[in-house]
Amino acid sequence: MFFTFFSKIISRRNYTIKTHTIKSVGIMTLIIILMLSIFTSCFGEEAASKLMKENNFKVVGYYSYDYFNEPVEKLQTDKLTHIMYGFLIPKNDGTFFDLKKPEQLKELVVKAHNDGAKVFISIGGWSNEGKPLEPVFKEIAASDEKRKFFIDNVCDLVEEYNLDGVELDWEHPNKSTAADYEKMVIEMSDSLNAKGKELTAALNGSWYDNWAAEDTSVITEKCLEKFSFINVMAYDMNNDAHSPVWFFENSISYWLFRGMPPEKIVMGMPLYAKPSWLQYKNLVSLNSEYAYSDYASTTPLESNYNSINTLREKTIIALNRAGGVMLFDVNEDTNDELSIVSMIDDLLLRVGDFSREEFKKYNTIVLNNKELVFINSDGFGTPFTDKRNRIMIPLRKSMEAIGASVDYNEKNSEVTIKKDETTIRIGINSNVIFVNGERKEMDTSSVLKEQRIYIPLRNIFEAFGYTVEYHENSRTVFLSDI
């Protein structure tokens, strides 16, 4: 286990555990035992990446040099597992347009590899200089000679820049080109695998859990078997509902229906708005409160997008049902406390020692749009669901978070909570609360657990005038008095 932690310290996002064989005994053994004891006492018996190891969870970020072009040094490669560098633009003859910033790619590879992240080159995209790239892919794939020439050029570029793999972003094959797409995927995958490299693809999401449009349904089983994972573009549905949670969930369901293993499904999340095309960082710079809303009345065009709360919910859903999340594009993120990459990283670190089954019981609390974070190590307790399926929340931290005072009468085993004009009294192991002296029965009881008092979340917060909204798909509770 020491070596697991040692690997984690070197690279927080390199989840591959390297096996070490110790053949000698004596002093070396004693040193290892001592260090193991220190690490165990500090961190517990399980590594902080248990959940991520169970489903090989990926955090993928596109880095589009030609679109947004944030400096490489600002990219949080220590919080990503993969970077998709876009875009390499193909020509009809099987060659490519020159990379506009080759030195930038080299710089990115060094930085990412130092942080344990992989770098893939993304080939294609929707268009180049306003011209769709689908006809280019079609022409290359239809010819055995051009296809081989194209793949050889891809492999040479991967070797030249010390890349870890390729993402095929052909948008999109159809019934007439599906067979040639399959040939390209199989041949490219085999060529890359021979060099120890990987192949992935950018594929569409679906409105439905068991049916998809032609550009998605024509992807064959043979293709899916060849991809290390797929990046699902679960966005750009329309302007008003650009990337809603239900579309995200249905897209997971569709690819599961197609037989993709959960760990190979990486779900795309946008960091831009429609129809304004404003980036997340632009919106936050206009008004920090925009970070917590999925809509902003910007001008001349309004903005529909995913807030930090929506993206947290999506990440939780992906942790439960898929194998990762993908951000398009990390250049659009902030580099402060509102960073989406940092939010995802904080969540993963917080739940990293959970098993998949344990994580399914995890509850997230959002208070007036800001997450109320509970961590085991802080000693204040963490929310749980009781036998009556009611969320129980640690009393003191949650009440102090809303500015209430808490007084515990140990003799009577009773807690008094005061905020503004409201006073609540509740006994330990009691299903009765008194709100300004009025007796009210609850359908569950407060409890004392591990020297911490837990109270029924809904009953207490509603008594203080908060609205309570529960999203079962992500086990997220939204509390608001604004």
pLDDT at 353: 83
Q: Which two tokens stand for residue 421?
A: 């004009």
H helical segments located in 161-235? 178-194, 214-217, 221-226
- For 328, which DSSP code? E
pLDDT at residue 22 is higher than 70: no
Assigned CATH for 50-360: 3.20.20.80
Mean pLDDT of 310-335: 97
The full set of domain ranges for the chain reads 2-43, 50-360, 367-480
- 407 strand-pairing partners: 416
CB contact set of 450 (below 8 Å; sequence gap of 6+): 381
Mean pLDDT of 172-200: 98
pLDDT at 358: 87
pLDDT at 354: 86
Q: Which two tokens stand for residue 269?
A: 């999340």
Number of other CB atoms surrounding residue 11 within 10 Å: 16
State what percent of residues in the chain have pLDDT above 90. Answer: 82
pLDDT at 54: 60
Least confidently predicted of 300-309, 371-380, 399-408: 371-380
pTM of the full predicted structure?
0.88
* 367-480 to CATH, choices 3.30.457.10, 1.20.1090.10, 3.40.50.1820, 3.30.1490.20: 3.30.457.10
Mean pLDDT of 155-184: 98
Quick check: 428 and 414 in contact, CB under 8 A?
Answer: yes
DSSP H or E run through 218: none
Least confidently predicted of 2-6, 351-355, 464-468: 2-6
pLDDT in tens, 116-150: 999 999 999 999 999 999 999 999 999 999 999 99
pLDDT in tens, 93-121: 999 999 999 999 999 999 999 999 999 99
Amino acid present at 286: L
pLDDT at residue 57 is higher than 80: yes
pLDDT at 13: 40
pLDDT at 55: 59
Quick check: 334 and 342 in contact, CB under 8 A?
Answer: no
Quick check: 325 and 344 in contact, CB under 8 A?
Answer: yes
pLDDT at residue 9 is higher than 50: no
Check for a shared fold between 50-360 and 367-480. no
pLDDT at residue 390 is higher than 70: yes
pLDDT at 335: 93
pLDDT at 53: 59
